[in-house]
Amino acid sequence: MVQVVVNDPIGMHVVLDLYECDPQILDDMEKVEEVLTKAAEVANATIIDKRFHKFSPQGVSGVVVVSESHIAIHTWPEHGYAAVDVYTCGDHTMPLKASEYIIKELKCKRPSIVKLDRGLLFKE
């Protein structure tokens, strides 16, 4: 029998598919940037860079690069839908708390939340 033993994962990646959000918020780039920036703080991550873009006629994309990986969002106001990834490394970070904050701020009524362990190393 093969025994698979892994250490703690290097990172935790929360995959959020957020349905029934507030379309006005999803199309407001400044607000979306504010939410993701604050979310990085809630996650206790250290921001090293961020880029946000507004699409025409609607929609926002944004990535906050943190020392501990990244937080990204892509919005479709026309569907009330936002795809969010909260991916952080290290025991000091709290990606689920950040996810909860984002769900609340986007006024999401139907969130899908999947948590992925990233980087499961075999024990020596």
What H or E segment, with its residue span, contains residue 14?
Answer: strand 11-19
- Rounded distance between C-alpha atoms, residue 36 and residue 84, angstroms: 10
Q: Under a CB-based contact definition with an 8 Å cutoff, are residues 52 and 58 in contact?
A: no
Q: 29, 47, 65, 96: which one contacts a second copy (CB under 8 A)?
A: 65
Residue of 21, 89, 99, 108 with catalytic role: 89
> 95-124 mask for a second copy (x: CB under 8 A)?
-------------------x-x-xxxx---
Q: 3, 5, 49, 56: which one contacts a second copy (CB under 8 A)?
A: 49
What H or E segment, with its residue span, contains residue 124?
Answer: none
Tell whether the torsion through CA atoms of 71, 37, 115 and 88 is positive or negative: positive
Residues of this chain that interact with a second copy (CB under 8 A) are: 10-11, 13, 15, 17, 19, 48-49, 51, 53, 55, 61, 63, 65, 67, 69-70, 72, 74, 76, 79, 81, 83, 85, 87, 89, 114, 116, 118-121
